[in-house]
Amino acid sequence: MKVCVVGCGAVGSLFAANLAQLDDVEVWAYDLAQDHVDAVNRDGLHLSGAGDLVGRLRATSDPAELPECDFGIVATKAMHTGPAVAAVTGALSNASVASVQNGIGNEETIAGHVQRVIRGTTFPAGKLLAPGHVQWDVKGDTTLGPFEGSPAPMEDVELLADACTRAGMPTHAVADARGPQWRKVIFNASTNPVGALTGLTHGRVCEDPELRRLVSELVNEGKAVATAQGIELDADPEELIDHAARPEVAYDHKASMLQDVEARRPTEIDYLNGGIARFGDEHGVPTPMNRAIWALVKGLERSW
Amino acid sequence: MRTCVVGAGSIGSLYAAHLATVTDVLVLTRREEHARVLNEEGLRVTGRHDFTARVTAAADPRDLPDFELGIVATKATGVESAAESLTGRFPGATIMTVQNGLGAEEIVGRHGDWPLVSGVTFMSGTKHSDTHVEYILDTPTWIGPYRETPFARVQEIAALLVDSGLKAEALPDLRPAQWSKLIFNATVNGVAALTGLNHDPHFAAEREPSDLGHLVHDLVDEGKRVAAAAGVELHDDPWEMNVLATKRGSAHYPSMLEDVDARRPTEVELINGALVREAERCGVEAPLHTALYRLVKAREASYS
């Protein structure tokens, strides 16, 4: 099968390099960073850290070079989903296309360009060290399921999940993938912006009882919006938050949004707290705290 | 008549210089060096007025003669140590506070039984050096009696301020004005400190769902509900104060943002903290102001 990874940053690279290990999968990567593309084509895509390997694959910044693919894996930052998928619709017109991005609303955007969409949530993480070289920080599971509004056939979901699992990225195919996605979104929306606004690491956010209460207020609104949509969370985001605060897990971790803010890059706030607020509106659930946090982080972006 | 201004930041310097044109003025500074240059060079005012005044300055209250009117013009964070330095002295003085927020009178009252006058000031200035302040906004100082202080005494002080060339008004009950400014400051200073935005038109924008004006409006409405529960009828609508201020052309750099940028302690306790405690006392919910208060406190905690 042919797979096109759309957006070959840290997470996209984890999928691309691992899938490239399989004999029955031909991997293509579409990315706009020409130095990264050139390095991958010249030397392969190197992963180091939680796993050390080199993926041999074809990368390009020119959509016209892409062959017609069976699967797409969209791994851009959430704000780039629309333009990125629009650019590669030629290669993906008959493909089943999965999002493994942060936030909510990506599948809706993808469905504006292709017909068969897969809702996905992934926990592995890493960072781009240099062109062609990604550090794999954390291993973790991925969940895929047909996107309700414009679903890929379940057998396609299973094929892609099987390929990822065989490649060393454990992936579950499920009928309803909303639970894991909302758990992760609620986790991210309730902790990342608090770190971004205060400058505190995840552990310090959680050990301040007043701030931890604010985090819970955000979690509770997110849970109410999930419940109103009939979504059953696969686990309580509160547990994930407390687990991550442990010294041996992610006490000292600066949320990616805090890293974005420190580097003055646009954040994914529109797809986290903004997404919760938007879905809350659609289902008549008030989300004043997520809305407030959304406005504050947008304000922060506008101050640059 | 002799007046003592405690704290010679921009507001204190504006009071001291103007009052020195109609009374003897003493200035109690924090730094020795500041007192020395004031004694040598006097205090220069530019901007809306242009003159240089002679003042008698000292950094040690034991070096000061008795006075009849004391104006505590430190930041809210400096009131405690200012009041401490007056303890046991100046029995004939009336002490006036002009801090942002609530509670400065109580702090001074704990250090002596001077009659107290509450003040709020809307004037603004920029301190260019220890001996030079630019008078920027010539908006008034409103003053009113605190507890048993006779209104006649308040009127005398207002008349003195007006004689000195400043704008001032005596009000039988200051709380409506004090609360208008409290809600305005809690909202604008808190949002500015967290977003890094000067008080600019973003604070009044309400077009897009993530526009900051919605949050500012919600914070103001929440503050108004606390005021109503506290039995205070506001002198000015804080939302209108906000809109008006953002239309002035040059955006104001709020002091709480200035403090956060310099990683200094902010006035959050006496502003946002005071509003949150009033809400608790009156039994009304103030979730947004509570969140703002927690976030700014956490931002201060991130300095270390």
> Is B210 in Cβ contact with A270 (below 8 Å)?
yes
> What region, left, alpha or beta, does residue A168 occupy, with left being phi > 0 and alpha being psi -120 to 50 degrees?
left
The encoded tokens of residue A5 equal: 């990874």
Indicate whether B249 pLDDT > 80. Answer: no
> Is B195 in Cβ contact with A291 (below 8 Å)?
no
**Nearest Cβ partner for B301 among A208, A288, A303:** A208
Mean local confidence (pLDDT), A70-83: 97
Mean local confidence (pLDDT), B95-103: 95
Percent of chain B with pLDDT over 70: 100
**Nearest Cβ partner for B195 among A213, A291, A303:** A303
**Spatial separation of the C-alpha atoms in residues B271 and B186, rounded to whole Å:** 6
How high is the pLDDT of residue A276? 98
How many CB atoms are closer than 10 A to CB A88? Answer: 25
**Spatial separation of the C-alpha atoms in residues B94 and B105, rounded to whole Å:** 12
Q: Report which of A39, A199, A285 is spatially closest to residue B263, judged by C-alpha positions.
A: A199
Q: Rounded mean pLDDT of chain B?
A: 96
> pLDDT category, A255, cuts 50, 70, 90?
confident
The residue behind tokens 């993530």 is B210
> pLDDT category, A254, cuts 50, 70, 90?
confident
> pLDDT category, B61, cuts 50, 70, 90?
very high
Distance from CA of B302 to the nearest CA of A (A): 6
How high is the pLDDT of residue B232? 97
Distance from CA of A275 to the nearest CA of B (A): 11
Indicate whether A108 pLDDT > 90. Answer: yes
Distance from CA of A14 to the nearest CA of B (A): 33
| pLDDT tens digits along A157-207 | 999 999 999 999 999 999 999 999 999 999 999 999 999 999 999 999 999
> Is A302 in Cβ contact with B299 (below 8 Å)?
no
B266 contacts on A by Cβ (under 8 Å): none
Residue of B187, B188, B189, B194 to mutate, interface with A, max A Cβ within 10 Å = B194
Identity (one letter) of the amino acid at B276? V
Q: Report which of A171, A163, A169, A183 is spatially closest to residue A13, judged by C-alpha positions.
A: A169
Report the Cα–Cα distance between both ends of chain B, in Å, rounded.
46
Rounded to the nearest angstrom, the gap between the alpha carbon of residue B281 and the centroid of all alpha carbons in its chain is 23
How high is the pLDDT of residue B138? 92
How high is the pLDDT of residue A287? 98
Tell me which residues of chain A have a C-beta less than 8 Å from any C-beta of chain B.
194, 197-200, 204-205, 208, 210-211, 213-214, 217, 270, 274, 277-278, 288-289, 291-296, 298-300, 302-303
How high is the pLDDT of residue B22? 97
SS3 at position B214: helix
**Spatial separation of the C-alpha atoms in residues B290 and A43, rounded to whole Å:** 53
Backbone angles phi, psi at A6, to 5 degrees: -100, 110
Indicate whether B250 pLDDT > 80. Answer: no
Residue of B187, B194, B199, B210 to mutate, interface with A, max A Cβ within 10 Å = B210
Question: What is the sign of the dihedral through the CA atoms of A91, A93, A95 and A100?
Answer: positive
**pTM here?**
0.90
Q: Are B215 and B206 in contact (CB under 8 A)?
A: no
**Spatial separation of the C-alpha atoms in residues B51 and B60, rounded to whole Å:** 27
| pLDDT tens digits along A47-76 | 999 999 999 999 999 999 999 999 999 999
A298 contacts on B by Cβ (under 8 Å): 210-212
How high is the pLDDT of residue B79? 96
Identity (one letter) of the amino acid at B83? A
Q: Are B213 and B197 in contact (CB under 8 A)?
A: no
Q: Are B45 and B18 in contact (CB under 8 A)?
A: yes
Indicate whether B267 pLDDT > 90. Answer: yes
A105 contacts on B by Cβ (under 8 Å): none
Distance from CA of A117 to the nearest CA of B (A): 28
Mean local confidence (pLDDT), B156-179: 97
> Is B194 in Cβ contact with A296 (below 8 Å)?
yes
Q: Report which of A197, A169, A131, A193 is spatially closest to residue A15, judged by C-alpha positions.
A: A169
Contact partners, residue B244, CB within 8 Å, separation at least 6: none
Contacts A–B by Cβ distance under 8 A: 86
Distance from CA of A197 to the nearest CA of B (A): 6
The encoded tokens of residue A261 equal: 């803010």
Residue of B215, B285, B299 to mutate, interface with A, max A Cβ within 10 Å = B215
Indicate whether A88 pLDDT > 80. Answer: yes
Alpha helices in A88-177 (DSSP H): 89-92, 106-111, 154-166
How high is the pLDDT of residue B137? 87
> pLDDT category, A137, cuts 50, 70, 90?
confident
For A55-82, b where at least 16 C-beta lie within 10 A, e where not — what string?
bebbbbbebeebeebbbbbbbbbbbbbe
> pLDDT category, A248, cuts 50, 70, 90?
confident
SS3 at position A83: helix
The encoded tokens of residue A23 equal: 């004999």
**Spatial separation of the C-alpha atoms in residues A31 and A192, rounded to whole Å:** 26
DSSP structure class, residue B49: S
**Spatial separation of the C-alpha atoms in residues A246 and B171, rounded to whole Å:** 55
**Nearest Cβ partner for B294 among A211, A295, A302:** A211
| pLDDT tens digits along B286-297 | 999 999 999 999
B295 contacts on A by Cβ (under 8 Å): 194, 197-198, 211, 214, 296
Indicate whether B246 pLDDT > 90. Answer: yes
E strand or H helix at B96: strand B94-97
**Spatial separation of the C-alpha atoms in residues A175 and B37, rounded to whole Å:** 77
The residue behind tokens 């940053």 is A9
How many CB atoms are closer than 10 A to CB B137? Answer: 16
Distance from CA of A289 to the nearest CA of B (A): 7
> pLDDT category, B103, cuts 50, 70, 90?
very high
DSSP structure class, residue B59: S
Query: pLDDT higher for A16 or A255?
Result: A16
How high is the pLDDT of residue B248? 81
> Is A198 in Cβ contact with B301 (below 8 Å)?
yes
Distance from CA of A284 to the nearest CA of B (A): 15
> pLDDT category, A220, cuts 50, 70, 90?
very high
Strands B69-72 and B2-6: parallel
**Spatial separation of the C-alpha atoms in residues B13 and B34, rounded to whole Å:** 12
Contact partners, residue A231, CB within 8 Å, separation at least 6: A176, A178, A179, A182
The residue behind tokens 């109410």 is A224
**Nearest Cβ partner for B287 among A199, A289, A298:** A289
Cα within 13 Å of Cα(A286), Cβ side: 3
> Is B302 in Cβ contact with A200 (below 8 Å)?
yes
Q: Rounded mean pLDDT of chain A?
A: 96
**Nearest Cβ partner for A295 among B214, B290, B294:** B214
**Spatial separation of the C-alpha atoms in residues A64 and B166, rounded to whole Å:** 71
> pLDDT category, A259, cuts 50, 70, 90?
confident
Distance from CA of A210 to the nearest CA of B (A): 6
**Spatial separation of the C-alpha atoms in residues A180 and A235, rounded to whole Å:** 8
**Spatial separation of the C-alpha atoms in residues A211 and B301, rounded to whole Å:** 11
**Spatial separation of the C-alpha atoms in residues A70 and B97, rounded to whole Å:** 73
> Is A299 in Cβ contact with B195 (below 8 Å)?
yes
